[in-house]
Structure 1
Amino acid sequence: MRYIKKLIRIILITLITFLFSIAFYFIAARGLSSITVNKEQKNTKDMTMYISTNGMHTDYVFPIESDLINWSDEIKFTDTKSQREDYKYVAIGWGDKGFFLDVEDWDSVKPNIALNAAFGLGTTAIHTTFIHDIKIDESIREISITKEQYKALIDYVNASFKRDTNGQIINISTDKVYGMNDSFYEATGSYSFLHTCNSWANTGFKKAKMRACLWTPFQEGIFRKYEMGYIPEPVF
Structure 2
Amino acid sequence: MRTGIRWLVRTVFLLVFLAACGTVIPRPLIAPVKASSASSIHRILLLSGPIHTDIAIPLDEETRAAFSFLDAPDFPLGHPDAEWLVVGWGGRAFYLETPSWAELKPLPMLRALTIDRSVLHVGLAGHITEPQPSVTAFDISDDQMARLLHFVSDSFLRNAGEIAPIADAGYGEIDRFFDAKGYFNALFGCTTWTAAALRSAGLRTGLWNPLPQSLRLSVDVYN
What's the TM-score once normalised by structure 2's chain length?
A: 0.84
Alignment of 1:112-127 (within 5 A): 112-120=107-115, 122-127=116-121
Equivalent position of 2:34 in the other structure? 42
Indicate yes or no: 2:134 matched with 1:139.
yes
Indicate yes or no: 2:73 matched with 1:56.
no
Closer/same/farther in 2, CA of residues 206 and 219 from structure 1, 3 Å limit: same
Equivalent position of 1:29 in the other structure? 19
Larger radius of gyration: 1
Unaligned runs of 5+ in 1: 1-10
Equivalent position of 2:206 in the other structure? 213
CA distance in 2, matches of 1:21, 1:100: 26
Closer/same/farther in 2, CA of residues 130 and 71 from structure 1, 3 Å limit: farther
Equivalent position of 1:92 in the other structure? 87
RMSD between aligned residues: 2.6
Unaligned runs of 5+ in 2: none
Instruction: Give the match's secondary structure for 2:182.
Output: coil
Indicate yes or no: 2:181 matched with 1:191.
no
Equivalent position of 1:200 in the other structure? 193
Q: CA deviation at 1:77?
A: 4.5
Q: CA deviation at 1:113?
A: 2.0
CA distance in 1, matches of 2:201, 2:84: 20
CA distance in 1, matches of 2:108, 2:57: 30
Q: CA deviation at 1:116?
A: 1.8
Q: Which runs of 4+ in 1 moved over 6 A?
A: none
What's the TM-score once normalised by structure 1's chain length?
A: 0.80
CA distance in 1, matches of 2:77, 2:22: 42
Equivalent residue letter for 2:112 = A
Closer/same/farther in 2, CA of residues 79 and 34 from structure 1, 3 Å limit: farther
CA distance in 2, matches of 1:51, 1:126: 16
Instruction: Give the match's secondary structure for 2:5.
Output: helix
**Contact 2:94 / 2:111 at 8 angstroms: preserved in 1?**
no
CA distance in 2, matches of 1:164, 1:26: 39
Q: CA deviation at 1:100?
A: 0.9
CA distance in 1, matches of 2:114, 2:203: 28
Give the percent of matched residue pairs that are identical in Structure 1 and Structure 2: 21
Equivalent residue letter for 1:192 = N
Instruction: Give the match's secondary structure for 1:78.
Output: coil
CA distance in 1, matches of 2:67, 2:147: 18
**Contact 1:48 / 1:144 at 8 angstroms: preserved in 2?**
yes
